[in-house]
Amino acid sequence: MDLCIIGSGYVGLVTGACFAEVGHHVICVDNDQRKVDMLQRGEIPIYEPGLEDLVHRNVAAKRLRFTNSIEDGVDHSQIIFIAVPTPPQPDGSVDLTYIERVAREIAGVLKPGQYRVVVDKSTVPVKTGEKVADTIRRYNKTAEFDVVSNPEFLREGCAVPDLMNPDRVVVGSSSQKATDLMKRVYEPFQAPILVTDVNSAELIKHAANSFLSLKISYINAVSAICEASGADVELVASGIGMDKRIGRNFLNAGLGYGGSCFPKDVKAFIAISRQLGTPFRLLEEVERINENQLGRFIDKVRDALWVLKDKKIAVWGLTFKPDTDDVRNSVAIDLVNKLVAEGAHVTAYDPKGAEKAIEWKLIDPQKVKIVNTPVEAADGAEALILATEWKEFANQDFIEVKKRMHTPLIFDGRNLFDPSLMREIGFTYYAVGRANKPTAI
């Protein structure tokens, strides 16, 4: 099929490349000329495992191309996916100005007799589909189109496999014609397709992300009880996760959830529920637990080091999770900045995220030293904090790390390491929800 994706960010680019991979002809549109130029040169503006190969292969096969022209995309495609940002506003509600602008731009180029399906892929509040349809109608009286909601469920870091093998595809549509076309788009993916009305599809996305955030906050709240009682949250998570009704996924205690989705979507769902007159108070508590989790962790570091000022602290990991270069709303970055604010001297290492953290001014390179290896970060450190669970951190030579450190103290913010191994090597090891007191050396 001939498809167009407006917005070449994480969602748009991965979606476009995967659609091309299964045989569709895809035009990716972006209004950032610099990004379009990069993509046309074969450069990928984001790090996502497997994406570069996918883009190169499909560009070479002439199934994928990039342009800055919405008209080009709309003219040559049966279905137009909107995948532009929906950032949060200061009050937590969603800023829909990009969506509204794209709706107007589509209206401006739709020609008479040219039926198109306009699909909302961005995460939007319930009832946005109705507004997109109203906007297109207002700016183009003769347009023939249907609006569909098709939320994405891909995770950064494994976006390509998530998109190629989805658990489910949700299509919110009130038109049989549009539904049939959407089913053809997803036929090659062989995934269950749930067809709903537009409002339900929009709500599914916010409800799904909020539920996953709730699961994380639940286990983080349990981790506090584990620390106070001497229990081990990893065992508790396994024990409850073995119940198929609960499941072990997203029960990893740690520094809390971050990234460009969960914090924003929980806030948005709280705002939406308030606007609809049915406040979702449980989600306010989910947020509160998440915010406290980092504070509780820093308290542990402070308790052990007494005063953070002038302490040399190594931090492993800056991205909001492993296998991505995304540092937006990263708890690891918050941690670094809080340590710096208390006067600590932080040396940080991240396999992919350091450059963007500096470029986007999320950390101050005058105050945070960035190094090229984990061992270098540990050099002379009075404490080492694991903030993001990249696999390479688990495979370090810890005897060497210990030798390089001034004091062998490890604070494992993601429960990545084996506590007994760490203690055997001679570290004083702290984790999240794994007993209040570390075993002393």
Given the rule CB under 6 A, which residues bind ligand UGA? Answer: 123, 152-156, 209, 212, 216, 250-252, 254, 257-259, 261-262, 320-321
Nearer to ligand UGA, 22 or 208 (CB): 208
- The amino acid sitting at 192 is P
- The amino acid sitting at 183 is K
The minimum distance between CB 421 and ligand UGA, in angstroms, equals 22
Nearer to ligand UGA, 203 or 216 (CB): 216
| 261 noted as active-site residue | yes
The minimum distance between CB 113 and ligand UGA, in angstroms, equals 36
The minimum distance between CB 259 and ligand UGA, in angstroms, equals 4
- Point out the catalytic residue in the list 4, 18, 28, 261: 261
Residue 215 half-sphere exposure, CB side, CA atoms within 13 Å?
17
The minimum distance between CB 192 and ligand UGA, in angstroms, equals 16
Phi, psi of 115 (to 5 degrees): -70, 135
Distances (CA, A) of 394 to 385, 401, 419, 425: 13, 12, 12, 14
Rounded to the nearest 10 degrees, the angle between the axes of helix 128-139 and helix 198-229 is 150
Name which of 397, 376, 381, 384 is nearest 430 in CA terms: 384
Nearer to ligand UGA, 21 or 152 (CB): 152
Nearer to ligand UGA, 18 or 251 (CB): 251
- The amino acid sitting at 235 is L
Nearer to ligand UGA, 257 or 398 (CB): 257
The minimum distance between CB 168 and ligand UGA, in angstroms, equals 11
The minimum distance between CB 258 and ligand UGA, in angstroms, equals 4
Nearer to ligand UGA, 105 or 323 (CB): 323
- Residues annotated as catalytic are 261
